[in-house]
Amino acid sequence: MSDTLSTPQLSPMAQSYKGAQPHHVVIVGGGFGGLYTAKSLKGKNVQVTLIDKRNFHLFQPLLYQVATGGLSAGDISSPLRAVLREQQNVQVLMGEVIGLDPDSQHIELKDGETIAYDSLIVATGVKHHYFGKEHWADIAPGIKTVEDALEMRRRIFLAFEAAEKEADPQRRKALQTFVVVGGGPTGVELAGALAELAHGTLKHDFRNIDTAQTQILLLEGMDRVLPPYPPELSVEARKSLEALGVTVRTSTLVTNIDGDVITLKCGDQQEQILAGTVLWAAGMQASPLGKVVAEKTGAELDRAGRVMVESDLSVPGYPNFYVLGDLAHYAHQGDRPLPGTAAVAMQQGEYLGKVIRKRLADQAVVPFQYKDYGSMAVIGRNAAVANLGLAKISGFPAWFIWVFVHIYYLIEFDNKLLVMTQWAWNYFTRKRGVRLITGDDDLPFETEPPESEAQDGPTANQPEKQQTVAKI
């Protein structure tokens, strides 16, 4: 690969920076990639328009703490206008982009408005992937947005409340059984937080149930949790999870979810379990805008729907059209695409700011090169794993590094202070203060058995449920 890339010849419209109007950069998406691109263009001779469906930036790595009552949504969210208010060359618009035309260089918003651009940057991220079982979304919510986290929190705490009132032991046990599907960083962190919540925080809050008897099952289709991490850290993560009371099942797939009955497959063996709450952390796929990009530009998509980009993050054939972050399939470094992490998106955002500045000055640019400073996942109190390249750390040292890094990368000072204070209080008191149930009080399945199951005995076509459901 060449160390430099030639300066592309942009269309006449894309050369507007040479006239009276500044070069117009439109950024779609206010996540890590989009926000860091906008910040890197501060004070430059460009006009930036940042468009997002929400009016805030969300620190997604800590969403699981919102879902388990450790933090509030406001602690990890920052209004985009507040973050960028000192940048006079940036305008923030709240809207949803549904279409684009790279030839005439404009985008279309859901409300019908069109906006012209000289350079376009798309960073709309990913959504949950249920591998063709989209109807599972109502039963097994994922965690990518604030609404997702609040829905998880509602179901988690509602399950304990329902168990407190449930007289039937089998139903009570189902209500106190939680299944986390996916053993990657999100699944591991979510399962660990659930275990600390059930076996610690809530231990003395109820009278009719013992929350210490809560069962948390973490399922992973691969042969170990945290598959991208070194094997020794996967082993340490599993030990820490099991020490918290999490049952870890690897090489196990979910083949069906029907209400509170979960069908699992491990090798040639199939079994069913009863679980009142199923939480999804198993897979992601590109946002719908990725497909629009491919249709309009002819760009290739990978199996997850991500756009395959050039070494400068541009869409092939369109040098002033860039895709970055989770939506980009970047295969120009190493033997596999870059992971969809916040660190990658941040670095790509800063890189694109430099690319635009250099191209406006008719300077050549170098390909994007990701600097991997390591990866880490927290399991619980004083328990984490960190892969820092030459150093592989677990336990309290890894946990301390994880805390420091996450506070450092929170966007606003207010958020840093709030999270640090909340974590310190939770650490010494073992309390999670945001244990609120919002929304309706409906469970994701019926608490009473259907009438067909309330007959004197099972029929030939309706076998008794407890005979087909395995205990865990």
Kindly give, in sequence order, each residue whose CB lies less than 8 Å from that of residue 64, ignoring residues fewer than 6 positions away.
143, 149, 186, 189, 190, 193
> By CB neighbour count within 10 A (0-12 exposed, 13-18 middle, 19+ buried), where does 466 fall?
exposed
CB atoms within 10 A of CB 181: 26
**Cα–Cα dist 186/188, whole Å:** 6
CA Rg, the chain, in Å? Answer: 24
> What order do you get walking across the sheet with 375-380 strand by strand?
375-380, 383-388, 391-394
Is the sign of the CA dihedral 29, 34, 39, 42 positive or negative?
A: negative
In sequence order, the 6+-apart residues with CB closer than 8 A to the CB of 137 are 128, 130, 280
The owner of tokens 């949950």 is: 128
Q: In 117-213, at which residue ranges do the beta strands (DSSP E only) sit?
A: 119-122, 126-128, 177-181
Largest CA distance in the chain: 84
Closest to 285 in 3D by CA, of 134, 111, 444, 107: 134
**Alpha-carbon span 315 to 119, nearest angstrom:** 12
Residue whose structure tokens are 């196990």: 252
- Helical ranges in 134-184 per DSSP H: 146-165, 169-175
Nearest to 190, CA basis, from 148, 223, 127, 222 = 148
- Which residue, chain included where needed, has tokens 């870059």? 338
Q: 256, 268, 259, 266: which is closest to 219 by C-alpha?
A: 266
Distance between CA atoms of 301 and 319, rounded to whole angstroms? 18
The residues that are catalytic are 189
Instruction: Please answer whether residues 13 and 106 qualify as being in contact, where contact means their C-beta atoms are separated by less than 8 angstroms.
Output: no
